[in-house]
Amino acid sequence: MAEAARVLIHNATTAEMASRLRETLPQVEVLECDTYEGLPAMLSQHRPNVVYSVRFDGGAPFPKDALLGPDGPQWIANGGAGTDHFGHWDTARVTMTNAAGVAADMIAEYVMGGFLHFTLDAPGLLADKAQRVWAGRIVRPLKGQTLMVVGLGSTGRAVAARAKAFGMHVIGTRRRPQQMENVDEVGGAEDFHAMLPRADFIAVSTPLTTETRGLLGEREFELMKPGVILADVSRGCVIDGTALLDALRSGKVAAAALDVFETEPLPADSPFWTQANVLVSPHCSAVTEEWERASFEIFLRNLGHWLRGEPLFNVVDPDLGYRAIPKGVTPARRSDRPRPSPGTFSDRCSPARTAPCQCKCRNARHAEGIR
């Protein structure tokens, strides 16, 4: 490559990842940073080409300005799926990838577990156990019920597969509707409100974007079937918390399993803590002992592409908040870095381009939009 490979690992714990990177790709210079506060200085001093970054401190502001600023890398590999904590970025200056799907199966299990928590009346059973009371209770089946999945990405599809195993009828929405395995009916944004009254259960797994912020508010809860059970594994601002509380208190929403909130950590005085028909979890539906390792392995595969001058996968479109840029994207090159040789960019990039692009890489097929 024309540029030395300098990779910064930014996580609460870095030693295992750094060791794995050195073992797998010994030609790479490895840097480590385990705080938010120390990141700007690391970037300024070492100018890494690539940063693998995990949002590991939910109670502190994420240092996005440092990562997206003039000392930031040309490629940011986000360790999770969601990129809303970065805000918007200029694809001409930096390329963002994510680990979409790395925790989809675990999150889907959380969703189904949340539903079962309420349909089997786990709160009532635990209360009876604490009082040593033997009392009859009614449980509610999932079989034959309609589940609506809001956001049929990797997580939404994993939820649908598990719902089908329970014998549920699955409907859902996505930006570009198309037939999908385990989903009986797929709609677009224009079908969203018409689908809501049909659902007995709703799983919210859409990314947070300008279009999905406040997607479920007072109007949407009014449209829902009385007694619906909700699970939210998206981002806190997708659902209007005040409107949700009103719906929970009125019984319009019978219960909710909530892994995300508008403010995290959830303040001690939040009414969600004392709402009996709410299961509160601290944004942990994806957190297993293996998820960081799995995420880093995705990064290592992508880094291999980068070192060979091949297109990256899982490239995120900042306007959509998820991977939507066509395959064949090579990381953005900062103007203050050495220019790559003509062969650095893969000929598989954007075959529609037939003239040299503006970055003067002299490759006639450089990917659209990341000059």
**Is residue 55 a contact partner of residue 85, using CB atoms and an 8 Å limit?**
yes
Indicate if 204 and 135 belong to the same structural domain.
yes
Indicate if 264 and 145 belong to the same structural domain.
yes
Which of these three, 280, 311, 340, is where a domain ends? 280
Indicate if 134 and 18 belong to the same structural domain.
no
Answer whether residue 243 is part of any domain.
yes
Indicate if 274 and 318 belong to the same structural domain.
no
The reported pLDDT for the residue numbered 242 is 98
Indicate if 191 and 242 belong to the same structural domain.
yes
Q: Is 117 among the catalytic positions? A: no
Name the catalytic one among 283, 323, 365, 366. Answer: 283
The pair of three-digit structure tokens given for residue 331, joined into one six-digit string: 């990381």
**Within the chain, which residues score under 70 in pLDDT?**
1-3, 323-371
Answer whether residue 219 is part of any domain.
yes
Distance CA 191, CA 199 (A): 13
The pair of three-digit structure tokens given for residue 45, joined into one six-digit string: 């001093």
Which of these three, 216, 247, 280, is where a domain ends? 280
Q: Is 283 among the catalytic positions? A: yes
**What's the structural domain count of the chain?**
2
Answer whether residue 348 is part of any domain.
no
Distance CA 94, CA 91 (A): 5
Indicate if 143 and 263 belong to the same structural domain.
yes
Among 317, 232, 328, 352, which Cα is nearest to 283's? 232
Among 58, 47, 66, which Cα is nearest to 82's? 58
The reported pLDDT for the residue numbered 289 is 86
Distance CA 281, CA 258 (A): 6
Indicate if 318 and 189 belong to the same structural domain.
no
Indicate if 231 and 120 belong to the same structural domain.
yes
Answer whether residue 335 is part of any domain.
no
The pair of three-digit structure tokens given for residue 187, joined into one six-digit string: 């709609």
For 22-34, write each residue's pLDDT tens digit.
999 999 999 999 9
Q: Is 235 among the catalytic positions? A: yes
The pair of three-digit structure tokens given for residue 13, joined into one six-digit string: 């714990």
CB burial string 174-187: b at 16+ within 10 A, e below: bbebeebebbebbb
Give the CATH number, domain containing residue 201. 3.40.50.720
The reported pLDDT for the residue numbered 329 is 53
Name the catalytic one among 264, 290, 301, 337. Answer: 264
Indicate if 304 and 156 belong to the same structural domain.
no
The reported pLDDT for the residue numbered 360 is 32
Answer whether residue 340 is part of any domain.
no
DSSP 49: S
Rg (CA), the chain: 23
Structural domain boundaries enclosing 276:
106-280
Name the catalytic one among 157, 162, 235, 366. Answer: 235
Indicate if 169 and 238 belong to the same structural domain.
yes
Answer whether residue 276 is part of any domain.
yes
Indicate if 65 and 193 belong to the same structural domain.
no
The pair of three-digit structure tokens given for residue 355, joined into one six-digit string: 């003239």
The reported pLDDT for the residue numbered 229 is 98
The reported pLDDT for the residue numbered 352 is 33
Indicate if 134 and 180 belong to the same structural domain.
yes
Q: What is the pTM of this model?
A: 0.81
The pair of three-digit structure tokens given for residue 54, joined into one six-digit string: 């995990």
Answer whether residue 12 is part of any domain.
yes
CA 308, 310, 312, 318 dihedral sign is positive
Answer whether residue 54 is part of any domain.
yes
